[in-house]
Amino acid sequence: MASSICKHAAFAPSPATFRSTKFPILPVYLIRNGRRPSSAAVFCSLRPHYIPNHIPDPNYVRIFDTTLRDGEQSPGATMTTKEKLDIARQLARLGVDIIEAGFPASSDADFEAVQLIAREFSSADSGLVPVICGLARCNKRDIERSWEAVKHASKPRIHTFIATSQIHMDFKLKMTPGQVVHKATTMVAYARSLGCRDVEFSPEDAGRSDREFLYRILGEVIKAGATTLNIPDTVGYTLPSEFGQLIADIKANTPGIENVIISTHCQNDLGLSTANTIAGAYSGARQVEVTINGIGERAGNASLEEVVMAIKCRGEQALDGLYTGINTQHIIMASKMVEEYSGLRIQPHKAIVGANAFAHESGIHQDGMLKHKNTYEIISPEDIGLLRSNESGIVLGKLSGRHALKAKMLELGYDIDGKELDDLFSRFKAVAGNKKNISDDDLVALVSDEVFQPQTVWKLEDVTCGSLGLSTATVKLIHANGDERISCSVGTGPVDAAYKAVDLVVKVPVTLLEYSMSGVTEGIDAIATTRVLIRGEDSVTATHAYTGESVNRAFRH
Amino acid sequence: MASSICKHAAFAPSPATFRSTKFPILPVYLIRNGRRPSSAAVFCSLRPHYIPNHIPDPNYVRIFDTTLRDGEQSPGATMTTKEKLDIARQLARLGVDIIEAGFPASSDADFEAVQLIAREFSSADSGLVPVICGLARCNKRDIERSWEAVKHASKPRIHTFIATSQIHMDFKLKMTPGQVVHKATTMVAYARSLGCRDVEFSPEDAGRSDREFLYRILGEVIKAGATTLNIPDTVGYTLPSEFGQLIADIKANTPGIENVIISTHCQNDLGLSTANTIAGAYSGARQVEVTINGIGERAGNASLEEVVMAIKCRGEQALDGLYTGINTQHIIMASKMVEEYSGLRIQPHKAIVGANAFAHESGIHQDGMLKHKNTYEIISPEDIGLLRSNESGIVLGKLSGRHALKAKMLELGYDIDGKELDDLFSRFKAVAGNKKNISDDDLVALVSDEVFQPQTVWKLEDVTCGSLGLSTATVKLIHANGDERISCSVGTGPVDAAYKAVDLVVKVPVTLLEYSMSGVTEGIDAIATTRVLIRGEDSVTATHAYTGESVNRAFRH
């Protein structure tokens, strides 16, 4: 496949071989694994055009991101619709092939978010558009809701699942294997009958399912019209060698498997999800399900950044030439956005995207590191966008105008207009007056602080705390209707006192689950972010994807 | 090997077969992999007795913990000597076979910490005593310092290393392969000549070293007297299949390898360290180098808890019966201690020990989970000490006395006496007066808050912040000599203002690297912990283990 070096991928010449097809040219940044381009030069190439059940290039691995569905199931990770749309846009920029946008039947809010994202990617003429996928259990209502939500996308997909391990069939489904096969095939066929040409099926807990039963049910759903078969290691139980063997066995023994795509979905309970995912791809899976920062229930999922960078670094040499279509330079921004919106802080030693991932004891700016760079580093920070080259040449300072701020924010992945832009601009001016260098991190902190917030009911105008003797706090709250209230309270500490003072005014019974505060940028004049996780005592509920239970969702500030 | 169920392992009957040997009976809690005892009953068994270059049971995998050496190289993770000793005691309680206590030649502080830990484990008559190991580069001074520090331990070990990959030999060492072999063999022999019978050798960057050269240098150091050969994947570059093959190749091709122990040391740059470590053990390594929480430079090391639990869960079934001597019920306490002392917060979705590792969206206490327990969980929280059974039966409340507190703290892994106990007791009483239930987490928070702190120079008596208009802060500081100072400052936010106010009094030029605050216990009356990471402008320096550079160390509060 032809590849050329160009500054702006969007203006890359389109190879003639693809001009005659009906499929759009995909002008993505594609950094082929094994080669390391300089940070300035980016290889432009073509992503194979999208056919649900077939990939023209046998070495291409599709990236299926489920940050918005499985990732959002993390305790406390609930995101607003606006935040989800923002992340979806960043995932598209990153070049993911499929975005699992949510579980539409679980709640009205989830339905609306998936629908909004599907409409965002409804353009028929851009090859960059990712597939938009909605989750559904194997029942008609779930599948209908999922289709209603995703059908506006230019490439819609329904993903349906049912458990196939003996323990799940016995205790959760209370169904015989025959009943499970029947349910799966009729529901896959039902999804196709609605007009959805792209249907993914997952046998839940495949890692612990009987092998022969797995071949049987997978063979039957292929006949029923499934185009991707996803093999989840639901409890994160298998070792890489076992998971690789599972994929190889399925590939070797399932009737009709050559007509569909095999996918992996690995949980991280034993810390093996990245290795299992790569083992699966090496054994024949051509779709991998991952999340940004590896978020998800319990110990989370395989993380996009680890899987993508492992394939990029070792694909040519150790994985028979596997590669992905991810533009890795957008990884850091995606990671920061998901960290901020989900409230799930990543640890400093998180591989690829952790604060220390490229730092040595003596700090990331240490001169000495430079001479050892190739001896200790296998990935350049620039490869993942860490020392981002300023593509537009915009450097912001206190004299910068609204237009420059808008352009810069677009570059960082935030599309901001109107009142939001006005608010951001005035905050930006205030910070720029106090701070010499406005870093990208400062801007991201400002955005998440000011713009993507829910509607205000009470605004906290001021809080004063002290602890001479007992801890006390005084708070001043302003209601949306203009009412002002001042209240004070004592407590076991300043946070406790401040919360009690707020409670005296607001009077909504909530449970405080978590409180944390961290500096998001460096230096003594850093911008700090606080995270408060609460659960209302009679609050919004949603349906859990796997257990089917109704759960109280947690909210954060 | 015989195993029996008993309540107190220390009183387990010693099988007669071992009575005749000179080696002490090792009454450790040993939970054999594959079997899951109830949380009340603990399997007691024997750890094979310690011979440096041989393990009597071919399935036993030694756990070499390097939290205090490699882990402490994490940016900002610098610990005090007292904290290191505390962690060493917890590691012994956990049942690790070898503790790498530090790099004695790097600084006087490191030397003293290693020496103190060696003396702590100098008892000749307890089989529980772990090996105490000190790192040394391949030079006489390093090896002498290491020996001086560890020789008081009942089982001392020197660990020496030199790089063997072409890129490191060319650019870092500027030595020929022949010179490297000579250096390695003479230094291993020198370590033995000092009286050390237990010498570990690591060919640094083995993952990228020429295979034939590796066999040659390893064969030579075996002849020179090395007892353990550690194979590091220094840059976290290999895939599990490759790393497993590397260990298998070394085992098959190195002359004399049957007389020594092969070890793994896997960095986590691509998120594959746990999988690589397990692949190494499966291929014949019988020592694995790990850290608590996976801390370490860059993306850290293989984490003890992931490797140990993977072997425990899958050893019998998928790893030909491999097992370790770790008492997994002490994992959570070790994890919390290292998190607190290193200041490196683990992410909520960290496998095994993260806050969400056993939580579903609806929270860890959700009733519904109970009926699904076996369908979704492969590890019980009790297995790692998360819902700790109260072994001593001590429940603390506001009427509890000093004695009960001391006993409870011992159970939690903290040995506290004298003034420290007095201080803790008075803080405990204050909290017990305000809070109905004193949880283990509350106690740990109190301990780390009050007891293990460096000597006070300035004590922060009070701070008051407000932001009506500009952010302001007033602080009251008391010097160790009794002087009181009050100062106030304005700033870009309350943290900035408070720091500036402190600066006006203290006048030590430092750089603030990081500021974070998080609730460490649940609920609105939670105890919070703050983390402040600073680097002095002309501060304490130490030698970096691998680069040999002098680095400024960071300090935290």
pLDDT in tens, B272-282: 999 999 999 99
pLDDT above 90 coverage of chain A, percent: 46
Task: Evaluate whether A349 touches B75 at the Cβ level (below 8 Å).
Answer: no
Q: Which residue of B has its CA nearest to A463?
A: B466
How far is B121 from chain A, CA to nearest CA, in Å? 29
Nearest CA in chain A to B269: A351
**Local confidence band at B470 (pLDDT 50, 70, 90 cut-offs):** low
Segment B331-350 mean pLDDT: 92
Look up residue A149 and give its two tokens.
């939500």
Chain A hits for B350, CB-CB cut-off 8 Å, are 299, 347
For residue B18, with 0-12 CB atoms within 10 Å meaning exposed, 13-18 middle and 19 or more buried, which class applies? Answer: middle
pLDDT of residue A200: 98
State how far the Cα of A507 lies from the Cα of A136, in Å rounded to an integer: 38
Q: Which two tokens stand for residue B484?
A: 């009181």
DSSP label at B447?
Answer: H
Instruction: Give the 3-state secondary structure of residue A19.
Output: coil
Q: Do B318 and A168 touch (CB under 8 A)?
A: no
10 Å CB burial of residue B99 (0-12, 13-18, 19+) is: buried
pLDDT value, residue B392: 45
For residue A430, the distance in angstroms to the closest alpha carbon of chain B comes to 9
Residue B12 has pLDDT above 60, yes or no: no
d(CA A466, CA A468): 6
Name the minimum distance, in Å, from the CA of A511 to any CA of chain B: 7
- Residue pointed to by tokens 């050269």: B213
Tell me: the pLDDT tens digits for B81-110? Answer: 988 999 999 999 999 999 999 999 999 999
Query: β-pairing, A510-519 with B510-519?
Result: antiparallel
Residue A223, classified by CB atoms within 10 Å of its CB into exposed (0-12), middle (13-18) or buried (19+), is: middle
Q: What is the pLDDT of residue A449?
A: 61
Contact B464 A465 (CB under 8 A): yes
Residue A138 · residue A183 · CB < 8 Å? yes
**Residue found by looking up tokens 């598209």 in the block:** A92
The pLDDT tens digits for A99-110 are: 999 999 999 999
pLDDT at site A517 = 53
DSSP element (H, E) containing A99? strand A98-102
Interatomic CA distance for residues B308 and B241, integer angstroms:
20
Distance CA B337, CA B96 (A): 16
How many Cα neighbours within 13 Å face the side chain of B499?
Answer: 21
The one-letter amino acid at B394: I
Radius of gyration of chain A (CA): 25
CB contact under 8 A, B352 and A549: no
The Cα A301–Cα A277 span in angstroms is: 10
Between A358 and B153, the higher pLDDT residue? B153
**A163 → chain B, closest CA residue:** B375
Over residues A170-183, mean pLDDT: 94
The neighbouring-strand residues paired with B228 are: B200, B261
Q: Which residue of A has its CA nearest to B73?
A: A361
Residue among A296, A466, A527 minimizing CB distance to B462: A466
pLDDT by residue (tens digit) across A415-456?
788 888 888 888 888 777 666 567 776 777 777 665 444 445
Contact criterion met (CB < 8 Å) for A349 and B523: no
Nearest CA in chain B to A295: B349
At a CB cut-off of 8 Å and minimum separation 6, what does A102 contact?
A: A68, A69, A72, A84, A110, A111, A113, A114, A117, A134, A135, A149
DSSP line for A215-280: HHHHHHHHHHT-SEEEEEETTS---HHHHHHHHHHHHHHSTTGGGSEEEEEEB-TTS-HHHHHHHH
pLDDT at B251 over 80: yes
Residues ≥6 apart with Cβ < 8 Å to B494: B465, B466, B467, B471, B473
**Minimum CA–CA partner of A541 in chain B:** B362
Q: Do B270 and A310 touch (CB under 8 A)?
A: yes
Q: How confident is the model at residue B495 (pLDDT cuts 50, 70, 90)?
A: low
pLDDT at B306 over 80: yes
Please tell me whether residue A195 adopts helix, strand or coil conformation: coil
Tokens of A261: 């795509």
Tell how strand A156-163 and strand A131-137 pair up. Answer: parallel
| Contact across the interface for A271 and B270, Cβ inside 8 Å | no
Tokens of B263: 């070890």
Instruction: Report strand pairing: A550-552 vs A541-543.
Output: antiparallel
Q: Give Cα separations from B205 to A390, B209, B374 (angstroms).
A: 34, 6, 42
8 A C-beta contact, residue A329 and residue A40 = no
How far is Cα B84 from Cα B111, in angstroms, rounded to an integer?
12
Q: β-pairing, A287-290 with A62-65?
A: parallel
Check whether A35 has a pLDDT greater than 80.
no
Q: Which residues of B touch A519 (CB under 8 A)?
A: 495, 512, 514-516
Which of A509-518, B213-222, B393-402, B513-522 is predicted with the least confidence, judged by mean pLDDT? B513-522
User: Is residue A87 pLDDT above 90, yes or no?
Assistant: yes
Which residues is B535 bridged to in the sheet?
B511
Contact B375 A492 (CB under 8 A): no
Alpha-carbon gap, residue A72 to A79, rounded angstroms: 7
Residue A367 has a pLDDT of: 36
**pLDDT at residue A158 tops 90:** yes
Say what the alpha-carbon torsion angle A177, A182, A183, A187 is, to the nearest 10 degrees: 150
Q: Are B129 and B91 in contact (CB under 8 A)?
A: no
Tell me what pLDDT residue A481 has. 74
Average pLDDT, chain B: 78
The percentage of chain B sitting over the pLDDT mark of 70, rounded to a whole number, equals: 70
What CA–CA distance (Å, rounded) separates B9 from A99? 53
Q: Give mean pLDDT, residues B319-348.
A: 92
A482: closest CA of chain B, how far (Å): 18
> Hey, are the CB atoms on B347 and A351 less than 8 Å from each other?
no
The C-alpha of B10 sits at a distance from chain A's nearest C-alpha, in angstroms, of: 30
Predicted confidence at residue B402, as pLDDT, reads 82
Mutation for testing the B interface, residue in A361, A488, A490, A492 having most B CBs under 10 Å: A361
**Are A378 and B468 an interchain contact pair (Cβ–Cβ within 8 Å)?**
no
User: What's the confidence (pLDDT) of residue A432?
Assistant: 74
Which range of A5-14, A265-274, A448-457 scores highest in mean pLDDT? It is A265-274
Residues of B in contact with A378 (CB under 8 A): 235-237, 269-270
Kindly provide the ipTM of the predicted complex, given to two decimals.
0.73
Which residues on neighbouring strands pair with residue B512, listed in sequence order? Answer: B534
B510-519: strand order across its sheet: A555-556, A528-536, A510-519, B510-519, B528-536, B555-556
SS3 of residue B241 by DSSP: helix
Residues near A129 by beta carbon (within 8 Å), at least 6 away in sequence: A92, A121, A123, A153, A154, A155
Residue B19's pLDDT band, with cuts at 50, 70 and 90, is: very low
Q: How far apart are CA A518 and CA A487, in angstroms?
A: 27
Which residue type, as a one-letter code, is found at position B164? T
Look-up of token digits 């010498």: B199
